Amino acid sequence: MSDIRNMLVETANKILKDFCMKELVMDAEKGIWPQELWNILNETGMTIAGIPEEVGGVGGDVGDALSLLRVAGKYAAPIPLAETFIANWLFSTSGREASTQALTVGPVRKEDQLNFTKIAGGWLVFGKLRDIPWARNVKEIALFGKTEDGKSIVTTVPLENCQINKGVNLAGEPRDEVVLTNIFILDESVAINTQVKEVDYWNISTLTRIVLMAGALEKVLELSVDYSNERSQFGRAIGKFQAIKQQLAVMAGEIVASSTAADSAVEAFCSGKMVNEVAMAKIQVGEASSLVTKIAHQVHGAMGFTDEHPLHLLTRRLWSWRDEYGTESEWAEFLGEQVLANGSENLWPMITSSLVTQKVN
Amino acid sequence: MKTLNLPATTLPDEAEKLRNEIREFLADEMAAGTFEPRCDSWLGSHSAELSEKLGERGWLGMTWPKKYGGHERTSLERFVLTEELLVAGAPVSAHWFADRQTGPLLLNYGTEQQRQTFLPKMAKGQLYFAIGLSEPNSGSDLASISTRAKKIGNKWVINGAKIWSSGAHHAHYMLVLLRTSPLEDGKKYAGLSQIIVDLSSSGVTIRPINLMTGEHHFNEVIFEDVEVSEEMVVGKLGEGWKQSMAELAFERSGPERILSTYPLLQELLVQLEDSSNPHVKNKIGRLVARLWTLRQMSLSVATLLLEGKSPDIEAALVKDLGTAFEKEVIEVTRDLVSVRPSLSSKNRLEVLLAEAILHAPGFTLRGGTTEILRSIISKGLGV
């Protein structure tokens, strides 16, 4: 890891550890927007990290931004940091100024496509987007779509012009339905942008979930190890029992595997030589989430199943995020199809050449 | 809590260049009919001829100094060689243990004379070593071994027995962990040493222990008043435990803990090439994702070792997950195709599946059982 990235991660760790106490996360679930948290992240440049300075960001690369998101995942930060990053990343590829406001972005589901129709002086956008994070809390949504002749298009729409039907995921994070009924956008607010490929949009969006999950998984292990050392039964810490030790080791294995997979996918994306790493990492992290949450709750006993214990802040997020931007099965079918089509002799070359090209420390 | 981490790493260009040379070599050998891909080829496929050819190419003792017959290449180049040989299912068991662990151990702890005597021949693929750790009554609890050596004049006289010594019947020497001073209460790791024993010495009996398939890979090696020159002690007397544990770090995280059933996976894909079944794609996708993840982890451990770090807990973790994957390939194969495993079948998939099933119990036993590895991991977590 570079020095700059180390520093960013350290700062984010400090801020989020202090701010994201259980009360704040639970309050957010009840609808209280943590403005103070957003402000401090803004002041420290965290909301525009990984966005080039030329377009108003604080510089650094996509890898830097994603390592911050990993910290956000670890502390269950109840703010649209991922969405703001995706939106600003979209803007930066079209030369548009980054926003320091909290943003959301869509579509989130592949089936939800928008229709863009050219009219005099601008465009009309029409469509229904499901599961839009934090739509009710932010002013603007960044949109990614395609024109009728297949060019990529990036724009923003004020959410006050849209109909918002509220919804939440299992973690109580806002996942709203946003309905756009022929909303007019001026030409100057639209970037017809052939640089951003659709596949990149989905990959970077999926990467945000991969790193959020990698961060949350890390915290689940910490909580489980602590609990095993603190909780005593039969006259000794439950962590002294082989049955518990073995479970924690299995959990640690999945978590380290997920961390390596997440890192490798991020580096592959940044190197510009990505093949299937995002698919492979999402499958790994998703499968790990299922197993790790099961073990964590088993180890924590009834206490971890209560509202009082913070474990559920992480486990409910993992149960939500593993399905966002494609379930393991959806990605596995996509990957399996390619592996079969490439032929048996090309599997090993795919595994070995789908490597990052730049060494990171 | 200790944070375990295996950062994403990559291979340098020279390692990738080497990969192409190895692939060409293996393709030529396979075309010439030298070998057929086999599962678990590092345990049981012995070919003195192929080992010598690898030696001629400079692919054994790759990382060792030139003055000992080595080639001074990086451990990451050796990583590439290892994974390519295993993916091809090539017969590599003859030189495997000498090249993987005895050689590096002698470089670390051996005397100059031992290095001069053994390393150049190992690097030529002509001298094989067997591992002498487990005993009939000491498996997971390795420190409880009872093989002992007594000093008489300038010789050590050895009595005891080693077991599960793969390939000892082909090997020239064994590096034996034994007790050189009596066990003191509460100090079971003290008083252990490592001595090189010539397996053709008088008093050595090598008794085959056949696998359940009837194959002969394992042996029990019995020592009855075997005399060994004091010059054959490796490292310091009494430091044998520490030296053996370092030996295990080389053993645990390599590609051979992931790829023992790769030839089966490759053959499975041949059979499935025309499949459009979503269940098939789903299962294959998940398996491939896991393979990629594990391979990235193993590569990361190799890189950390090269940087002089000792990722022993991470290595235990890679072995735990990797060997479970080796078994998973079997279950996915059984799930996706209707074949009947048989060693005598004419269908390659059926033969490879049979080999994999019958060898699988060993995957999660050798080099530390899953249960022992998980104990090491949880201890590392601070539980």
What percent of chain A is predicted at pLDDT more than 70?
Answer: 97
Mutate to test the interface with B, among A5, A67, A264, A328 (most CBs of B within 10 A): A264
Structural domain contains residue A172? yes
Q: Is B378 within 8 Å of A249 when comparing Cβ atoms?
A: yes
Mutate to test the interface with A, among B87, B140, B286, B319 (most CBs of A within 10 A): B286
- Domain with A222, as residue range(s), is 198-353
Q: How far apart are CA A76 and CA A173, in angstroms?
A: 10
Residue A238 distance to chain B (closest CA, Å): 9
Structural domain count, chain A:
3
Which chain B residues have a beta carbon less than 8 Å from that of A332? 281-286, 289
Option in B270, B284, B293 nearest A260 (CB): B293
Structural domain contains residue A336? yes
Question: pLDDT at residue B266 above 60?
Answer: yes
- In this structure, are A208 and A137 located in the same domain? no
Return residues 67-96 of B near A (CB < 8 Å): 83, 87
Option in A249, A336, A343 nearest B282 (CB): A336
Residue-wise pLDDT tens digits, A298-319: 999 999 999 999 999 999 999 9
Average pLDDT of span B220-237 = 97
Question: pLDDT at residue A361 above 50?
Answer: no
- In this structure, are A141 and A176 located in the same domain? yes
In chain B, the domains with their CATH numbers are 13-127 (1.10.540.10), 131-239 (2.40.110.10), 253-381 (1.20.140.10)
Per DSSP, A308 falls in state S
> What's the pLDDT score for residue A358?
34
- DSSP-derived pairing of the beta strands A103-106 and A140-146: parallel
Q: How far apart are CA A154 and CA B91, in angstroms?
A: 56
How high is the mean pLDDT of chain A?
Answer: 94
- In this structure, are A246 and A188 located in the same domain? no
Per DSSP, A175 falls in state E
Identify the domain boundary among A179, A196, A213.
Answer: A196
What percent of chain B is predicted at pLDDT more than 90?
Answer: 89
Structural domain contains residue A96? no
> What's the pLDDT score for residue B309?
85
Option in B4, B290, B377 nearest A284 (CB): B290
Which residues face B216 on adjacent strands? B210
- In this structure, are A191 and A144 located in the same domain? yes
Average pLDDT of span B111-122 = 98
Identify the domain boundary among A196, A218, A243.
Answer: A196
Tell me if chain A has a CB within 8 Å of the CB of B169: no
CATH code of the domain covering residue A183? 2.40.110.10
Identify the domain boundary among A196, A215, A231.
Answer: A196
Q: Is A333 within 8 Å of B282 when comparing Cβ atoms?
A: yes
Structural domain contains residue A66? yes
Residue A108 distance to chain B (closest CA, Å): 22
Structural domain contains residue A111? yes
Option in B11, B281, B374 nearest A245 (CB): B374
- In this structure, are A208 and A298 located in the same domain? yes
CATH code of the domain covering residue A304? 1.20.140.10
Q: How far apart are CA A354 and CA B289, in angstroms?
A: 12
Q: Is B288 within 8 Å of A351 when comparing Cβ atoms?
A: yes
Tell me if chain A has a CB within 8 Å of the CB of B282: yes
- In this structure, are A151 and A177 located in the same domain? yes
Average pLDDT of span B279-291 = 98
- In this structure, are A330 and A287 located in the same domain? yes
Structural domain contains residue A2? yes
Which chain A residues have a beta carbon less than 8 Å from that of B26? none
Average pLDDT of span B190-213 = 96
Q: Is B378 within 8 Å of A248 when comparing Cβ atoms?
A: yes
- In this structure, are A219 and A344 located in the same domain? yes
- The nearest alpha carbon in chain B to A337 belongs to B281
**If pLDDT is split at 50, 70 and 90, which confidence band does A72 have?**
very high
Q: At residue A87, what is the residue type?
A: A
> What's the pLDDT score for residue A2?
78
- In this structure, are A205 and A341 located in the same domain? yes
- In this structure, are A335 and A346 located in the same domain? yes
Q: Is B269 within 8 Å of A343 when comparing Cβ atoms?
A: yes
Q: Is B374 within 8 Å of A337 when comparing Cβ atoms?
A: no
**If pLDDT is split at 50, 70 and 90, which confidence band does A353 have?**
confident
Structural domain contains residue A115? yes
E strand spans, chain A: 103-106, 115-119, 122-133, 140-146, 152-158, 163-165, 175-186, 190-192, 232-233, 236-237
How high is the mean pLDDT of chain B?
Answer: 94
**If pLDDT is split at 50, 70 and 90, which confidence band does B1 have?**
low
Residue A199 distance to chain B (closest CA, Å): 19
- In this structure, are A168 and A207 located in the same domain? no
Nearest alpha-carbon partner for B188 in B247, B137, B141: B141
- DSSP-derived pairing of the beta strands B192-198 and B216-229: unpaired
Q: How far apart are CA B288 and CA A352, in angstroms?
A: 12
- DSSP-derived pairing of the beta strands A175-186 and A163-165: antiparallel
Tell me if chain A has a CB within 8 Å of the CB of B280: yes
Option in A249, A260, A344 nearest B374 (CB): A249
Average pLDDT of span B97-111 = 95
Q: What ipTM did this prediction achieve?
A: 0.95
Q: Alpha carbon A353 to chain centroid distance?
A: 26
Residue A215 distance to chain B (closest CA, Å): 12
Structural domain contains residue A86? no
From B47-56, B123-132, B177-186, B243-252, the region with the lowest mean pLDDT: B243-252
Option in B10, B269, B381 nearest A252 (CB): B381
- In this structure, are A177 and A208 located in the same domain? no
Q: Is B291 within 8 Å of A333 when comparing Cβ atoms?
A: no
Question: pLDDT at residue A360 above 50?
Answer: no
